[in-house]
Amino acid sequence: MIHNFNAGPSILPKEVFEQASKAILNFNNTGLSILEIGHRTSLFEAVLDEARSLVRELMQLNDDKEILFLHGGASTQFFQVPMNFLDEHETGAYLDCGIWGIKAIREAKLFGNVNVVASSKDRNYTYVPKDYVIPANAKYFHYTSNNTIEGTEMFYIPETNVPIVVDMSSDILSRQTDFNRFSLIYAGAQKNIGAAGVNLVIIDRNFKPVVNRKLPSMMDYMQHIANGSMLNTPPVFAVYVCMLTLRWLKSIGGIPAIEKINQQKADLVYSTLDAHPLFRPTVAKEDRSRMNVVFVMDDPEKEKQFLDLCKKENMVGVKGHRSVGGFRVSLYNALPLESAKAFCDLAKSFN
């Protein structure tokens, strides 16, 4: 058995792979491949409708929320958000908690003013800042709920009247939260939602994109909403894989059920690392991500030995991001508890 700890694209449920493979050969007994059906057919419309309604049900979204499947990865949302919501002389408030947030800040500066309300750069992004003020006149407040590279996660939603925009790429659908508190949620699909190539974007209808600049149609959220994510050809197969993954999540009991398993996996891995004399988790305990466990060893020779051992034991994706080094073990929704246990057994045996 291969234990897949990749950070994204990452492991998906086995049944999703099986169903997606079948659909490539014969989609819903039509004799056609999912890859060759038109996006404006009733066949695909049913897929998109089911994906949307599963998102609404699993996240318990209210009727004010519009659900979109868009192209371009989460990186497109870094600029599409300010392009739609931030006029030249307006200010967006941003939290700087690592590489993805920094990229979002850089893109926002192309369109308006950015007020970085707090940063955890002073300690190498190993914690989430807690005491900061979100200016009441900010157009929106943006943060990254889970910092995939640095391994921090923000478990609370800040109290503010300013509309909140969140990049949930790496922890969406992994734990319960009040998703209705957000004015805009975006997430690349390639971790907990499905296959790479599509973004889930959820926008509250009361959060109005009013800016003076002209927008290309493909960048205009309002046009995507008016056209039901069909402004152009959507990534049909990627949306289909999302629908299958959402079905799987519902079948195992939805977010409350997966949250319990995710907590178990994270507790197992962190407690194993904390108890071991050679491994050192880098993140402050209260901010440790349940999705991406980041840790180091003080001896580079030992690090290499452990990586070799992981490889030998069929554990893939354990190496840390190139920008931070060390190790990163990703524990996304589809990672079975057995894989987390297998990793812990291996770590315990290492000396």
Q: List strand residue ranges (DSSP E) for the chain, in order.
A: 3-4, 65-70, 91-96, 113-119, 140-144, 146-147, 152-153, 164-167, 184-188, 199-204, 279-281, 292-297, 315-316, 327-330
Q: Are 50 and 239 in contact (CB under 8 A)?
A: no
d(CA 233, CA 40): 9
User: Least distance from C-beta 105 to ligand PMP, angstroms?
Assistant: 12
Binding string, residues 125-144; x marks residues near ligand PMP by CB under 6 A: -------------------x
Residue 71, number of CB atoms within 10 A of its CB: 16
Tell me whether strands 184-188 and 199-204 are parallel, antiparallel or unpaired. Answer: antiparallel
Q: Which one is catalytic: 96, 100, 204, 287?
A: 100
Burial of 113-135, coded b for 16+ CB within 10 Å and e otherwise, reads: bbeebbbbeeeebbbbbeeeebe
Q: Which of residues 79-108 bind ligand PMP (CB under 6 A)?
A: 100
Any contact of residue 167 with ligand PMP (CB under 6 A)?
yes
Q: Which of residues 183-222 bind ligand PMP (CB under 6 A)?
A: 188
On the question of a cis peptide bond just before residue 158, with omega within 30 degrees of 0, the verdict is no
Of 73 and 158, which has the nearer Cβ to ligand PMP?
A: 73
User: Least distance from C-beta 179 to ligand PMP, angstroms?
Assistant: 17
Mapping DSSP to helix (H, G, I), strand (E, B) and coil, where does residue 96 land?
strand
User: Least distance from C-beta 242 to ligand PMP, angstroms?
Assistant: 13
**285 is annotated as an active-site residue:** no
**191 is annotated as an active-site residue:** yes
Q: Which of residues 58-77 bind ligand PMP (CB under 6 A)?
A: 73-75
Q: Which one is catalytic: 65, 139, 191, 265?
A: 191
Structure token digits, residue 287: 């901010």
Of 114 and 189, which has the nearer Cβ to ligand PMP?
A: 189
Of 23 and 67, which has the nearer Cβ to ligand PMP?
A: 67
Q: How big is the chain, counted in residues? A: 351
Of 94 and 279, which has the nearer Cβ to ligand PMP?
A: 94
Q: Which residues bind ligand PMP (CB under 6 A)?
A: 8, 73-75, 100, 144, 148, 167, 169-170, 188
- Catalytic residue IDs: 100, 167, 191
